């Protein structure tokens, strides 16, 4: 599924290309599933921070079976079940070569379909909540966009770490999904944009949900007009985690950070995995353990065939997705 020129999902086209090969330090993977993430929306429009040379297949989170092992790679064999992040793109294809350093073996008993939806959601979130948010047992966690893939991972991991989790969502249907994931309470907010009165009303609604002490950690993968009302509900010395901006890049009044003595923390998970790969490995091992124990469970809500991969990207771009959208490319595993 190739992007030949900048544009929306409708510009993608299915085509035959030469098989990739496993270069030094790489694994050649027969892709079974490719999960769709917000960077896929941006990269095909040349709006992402990384711009792969065209033509390229979007998709950077895959699961599948190892078909070949490149020079210098140890610990891997043909036939291994795995999940990986690609170098930057290429996942919406039958085969892809991935850096072995960005690949993980999928433990027996864990399905490949759900495995494809683990890294960019749960691994982002565990880094955000643990390394950046320092979430502690008994604290209150507010999750914006709580019914999306990243948001649901924050609800589940927040509960796994012993927090009281308040899920903020945009519909009653999404509220039920957040509750099913373990949220202690749910707030349904209106769709932005907001005028000043609407922004103040949302702030008061959030304050009522999080309680008089405020939210110790706010997990924001949404941005836009939702950010300031959420920040107004933060606790003293709370941590506001900046994760993404599908609703737009907000401009926060910095006087609020002074009044609450709080931190606004960026969560750039991709850079973190490069700068601290050992810590990243530890986080993924923790996620596999929590998954095996049934304390987290990646929620794949829709599966698309490869020829409809553009539809999956379009649905995510329209903020209509609940849980994770996955493209199935080979037989289930």
> pLDDT per residue over 183-229, tens digit each?
999 999 988 899 999 999 999 999 999 999 999 999 999 999 999 99
What is the share, in percent, of the chain residues with pLDDT greater than 70? 99
The pairing of beta strand 324-328 with beta strand 300-305 = parallel
**Residue 267 and residue 331: Cα distance in Å, rounded?**
35
pLDDT, tens digit, for every residue of 137-154? 999 999 999 998 899 999
Q: What is the pLDDT of residues 51-79, one digit of tens each?
A: 899 999 999 999 999 999 999 999 999 99
Is the bond preceding residue 193 a cis peptide, omega within 30 degrees? yes
Continuous segment of H or E residues that includes residue 168: strand 164-169
The answer to whether the bond into 55 is cis (omega within 30° of 0) is yes
With bands split at pLDDT 50, 70 and 90, how would you rate the model's confidence at 332? low
Full-model pTM:
0.90
Q: What is the pLDDT of residue 333?
A: 52
Band (pLDDT 50/70/90 cuts) for residue 331 is low
- Which token pair is 170? 């945009």
Strands 95-99 and 26-35: antiparallel
Residues facing 81 on adjacent strands: 65
Domain extent listing, the chain:
9-118+298-328, 121-270
Averaged pLDDT for residues 144-166: 96
Mean pLDDT of 266-272: 94
Q: Is it the case that residue 178 has pLDDT exceeding 80?
A: yes
Helix (H) or strand (E) holding 23: none
Q: Which two tokens stand for residue 101?
A: 């350093």
How confident is the model at residue 49, as a pLDDT?
78
Question: Residue 90 and residue 97: Cα distance in Å, rounded?
Answer: 8
**Any idea which residue has 């759900």 for tokens?**
114
Are the C-beta atoms of 57 and 3 separated by less than 8 Å? yes
d(CA 45, CA 9): 9
Rounded Cα–Cα distance for residues 247 and 222 (Å): 6
Q: Which of 110-114, 207-211, 279-283, 327-331 has the lowest mean pLDDT?
A: 327-331
CATH number for 9-118+298-328 (one of 1.10.150.120, 3.90.1640.30, 3.40.605.10, 3.90.180.10): it is 3.90.180.10
CATH number of the 121-270 domain: 3.40.50.720
**Side-chain-side CA neighbours of residue 112 (13 Å):** 24
Half-sphere exposure of 118 (CA within 13 A, CB side): 29
């Amino acid at each position: 599924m190739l992007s030949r020129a900048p544009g929306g999902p409708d510009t993608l086209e299915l085509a035959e290309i030469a098989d990739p090969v496993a270069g030094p330090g790489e694994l050649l993977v027969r892709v079974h599933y490719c999960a769709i993430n917000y960077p896929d929306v941006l990269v095909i429009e040349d709006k992402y921070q990384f711009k792969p040379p065209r033509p390229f297949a979007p998709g950077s989170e895959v699961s599948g079976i190892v078909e070949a092992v490149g020079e210098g790679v140890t610990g891997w064999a043909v036939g291994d079940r795995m999940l990986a992040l690609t170098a930057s793109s290429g996942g919406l294809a039958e085969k892809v070569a991935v850096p072995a350093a960005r690949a993980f073996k999928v433990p027996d008993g864990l399905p490949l379909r759900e495995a494809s939806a683990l890294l960019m959601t749960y691994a982002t979130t565990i880094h955000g909540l643990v390394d950046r948010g320092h979430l502690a047992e008994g604290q209150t966690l507010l999750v914006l966009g709580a019914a999306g893939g990243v948001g649901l991972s924050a609800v589940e991991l927040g509960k796994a770490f012993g927090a009281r989790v308040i899920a903020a969502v945009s519909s009653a249907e999404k509220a039920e999904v957040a509750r099913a994931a373990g949220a202690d309470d749910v707030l349904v907010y209106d769709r932005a944009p907001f005028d000043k009165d609407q922004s103040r009303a949302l702030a008061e609604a959030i304050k009522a949900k999080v309680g008089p002490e405020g939210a110790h950690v706010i997990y924001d993968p949404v941005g836009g007009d939702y950010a300031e009302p959420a920040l107004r509900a933060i606790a003293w010395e709370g941590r506001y985690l900046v994760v993404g901006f599908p609703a737009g890049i907000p401009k926060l009044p910095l006087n609020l950070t002074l009044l609450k003595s709080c931190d606004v923390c960026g969560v750039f998970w991709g850079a973190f995995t490069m700068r601290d790969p050992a810590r990243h490995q530890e986080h993924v091992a923790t996620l596999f353990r929590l998954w095996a124990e049934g304390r987290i469970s990646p929620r794949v809500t829709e599966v698309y065939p490869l020829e409809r991969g553009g539809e999956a990207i379009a649905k995510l771009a329209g903020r209509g997705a609940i849980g994770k959208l996955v493209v199935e490319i080979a037989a289930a595993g």
